[in-house]
Structure 1
Amino acid sequence: MSRRLYPILNFIGHNKYWIVIILGVLIVGFLDENSLLKHARNRMLVNDLQEQIDNYNMQYERDEQKIKELRRNPKAITKIARENYFMKADDEDIFVLSDDQKPVTNNDETAK
């Protein structure tokens, strides 16, 4: 063998356990199918999905309260119809006011 390989083989011989441990951690931590990176990504995904579940449960409870209100109070149906669907009684007029900003255009024909 050449003299160049002796220091490398000597290093490997003295540190073989550390080399195996470091390679094992790298394989399990980054390259494996069940790596720590995939585990962290899945944990974040589970947290996001749990937040969505909580939001849907809150929305469900609000809707249940509205349904109970509609069953108890028949005037609540007319209130919802007026607020959400802009329905009106026969003897009234409705004016819908909008907060939308109209774009400013400079169509001043006299300045040309």
Structure 2
Amino acid sequence: MKRLIGLFGNKFFLVTVAFAAWLIFFDKNDLLSHYEYHQQLEKLKAERDFYQKETDKVTKDLDELSSNPQQLEKFAREKYLMKKDNEDVFLVVREKAVEE
């Protein structure tokens, strides 16, 4: 017990504990900030991966549309509702079923 009291009475020990507490809780780069930065970094990495996949997909579609005229025509008809001069286009809109 005397040894424990002597340890807490030692000025070097007290300064070390105070310094560690300052670094862990009160400093600009405390543990909570590091945890938040890590979470934000993981979120940004996931977004980066998502956007890279989307970019690859769009690049593939663009290459396909640039090289294949039939695919380009299909894309224009489906996405932008384009038609030839002698055609009529009818859109069928399905209403959502009403739940009772």
TM-score range, shorter chain: 0.7 to 0.9
1:33-55 CA distances to partner (integer Å, 9 max, x unpaired)?
A: 11111111111111111111111
Q: CA deviation at 1:19?
A: 4.6
Consecutive unaligned residues of structure 2, counting only runs of 5 or more, are none
- Higher-Rg structure is 1
Instruction: Give 1:1-112 correspondences, 5 Å limit.
Output: 15-16=8-9, 19-101=14-96
Aligned length: 93
Secondary structure of 2:74's counterpart equals helix
Secondary structure of 1:15's counterpart equals helix
4+ residue segments displaced more than 6 Å: none
Matching residue's letter, 2:65: L
Q: Quote the Cα distance in structure 1 between the aligned partners of 2:18 and 2:94.
A: 64
Q: Provide the TM-score with structure 1 as the length reference.
A: 0.67
Q: Quote the Cα distance in structure 2 between the aligned partners of 1:70 and 1:63.
A: 10
Q: Provide the TM-score with structure 2 as the length reference.
A: 0.74
